[in-house]
Amino acid sequence: MKKSLFIHLSVGIALMFLQRPAFGQTPWNRLELSNSKAKITSSRNPKHSIGFKSTLPVSHLEPQNVESGVIQNAVFEPFVFAQLFKRLGGAFQIGSFTSQPGPFVSLPGRYLPMAGIQLGFYPFGRFGIETGVQYFRSEWSGAFPVRVMQQDQPGYRTEQGSVSASASGLVLNLETVYFLSGKMFQPFLKAGMNAQISTHTESAAVIEALAVPLKTGLANKTVSACAGAGVRANAGKHIFADAGLAYREIPGGNYSAVAELAIGWKF
């Protein structure tokens, strides 16, 4: 029995050493993984993205109203009044020849395009979460009459003063996005929240090139809901571009449709 066991063991060892690959087959332990034809593929889709995003409101910015009393209180401060008296050549008042100043000076406004960074996380196939931060700046300007009582001759003349205001800061957003279908072109829906944080606000009245700071009530922080839709175009597995429309509250305190463009990289 021991002799039979020895024979079987010897034959097994011999077959192991004499084993040869099939005709035309390269042994697995001799495969070259560094050449151009050797590829290790993965079916895993990118689950993260980073990109540049730009937003532009498609409607006009809501006007801001500055109380005439705020302007009068600022320009009749003793130091300011003395400078304006010298520059204008006489005493003055806010208003025209025929009327007293109205309760407000209306300031039409304009948006500047917002730009920033967008991050995406897509753990559930077509569902994903996108967040980002953008810089914004909004500007307002208007005019008001100034009646000047001349010293060197009788009568009055009318000059024009102006009021300008601006707000700038950051818009933070957090949205859930759902891609409907398609590979190269992917329509999507999204909804979420925006937080607007004004980091710098300023306003001033200008008369005869003298800027007088004003105290106005521009909002510093707002939080609001948003929703939108668009299309993602994919160039290969990693490069993408988004184009869409959204409805959200924008710097200035009113809701508006906005055009959104983004380009980025998936990984």
Residue-wise pLDDT for 142-182, tens only, equals 999 999 987 777 778 889 999 999 999 999 999 999 999 87
DSSP 8-state class, residue 157: E
Which 3 state secondary structure label does DSSP give 81? helix
pLDDT value of position 83 = 95
Expressed in angstroms, the distance from the first to the final Cα of the chain is 64
The answer to whether residue 33 scores a pLDDT higher than 90 is: no
Work out the pLDDT band at 17, boundaries 50, 70, 90.
very low
Can you give the pTM of this predicted structure?
0.76
Contacts of 47 (CB under 8 A, 6+ apart): 121, 122, 123
Element (H, E) at 2: helix 2-18
Helix H or strand E segment including 219 = none
Question: What is the mean pLDDT of the segment spanning 212-239?
Answer: 89
Give the contacts of 77 (CB within 8 A, at least 6 positions apart). 212
Burial class (CB in 10 A: 0-12, 13-18, 19+), 260: buried
Alpha carbon distance 212, 190 (integer Å): 45
Work out the average pLDDT over 132-151: 92
Helix, coil or strand: residue 25: coil
Cα maximum dimension of the chain: 140
Which domains are assigned to the chain?
47-266 (2.40.160.20)
| Residues 225/193, Cβ–Cβ less than 8 Å | yes
Q: Torsion over CA of 200, 201, 207 and 209, rounded to 10 degrees?
A: 10
Q: Which pLDDT belongs to residue 219?
A: 67
Nearest to 174 by CA among 224, 129, 122, 136: 129
Number of H helices, E strands in the chain: 3, 12
Of 109 and 6, the one with more pLDDT: 109
- In angstroms, rounded to a whole number, what is the distance separating the alpha carbons of residues 92 and 73? 13
Q: At what angle do helices 78-88 and 68-75 cross, to 10 degrees?
A: 90
What tokens appear for 145 in the block? 């009459």
Least confident of 86-90, 97-101, 205-209: 97-101
CA atoms of 106 and 218, how far apart (whole Å): 14
With the C-alpha atoms ordered 94, 98, 104, 110, is the resulting torsion angle positive or negative?
Answer: negative
Dist. CA 264–CA 258, nearest whole Å:
20
pLDDT exceeds 60 at position 18: no
Rounded to the nearest 5 percent, the helix, strand and coil shares of the chain are 15, 60, 25
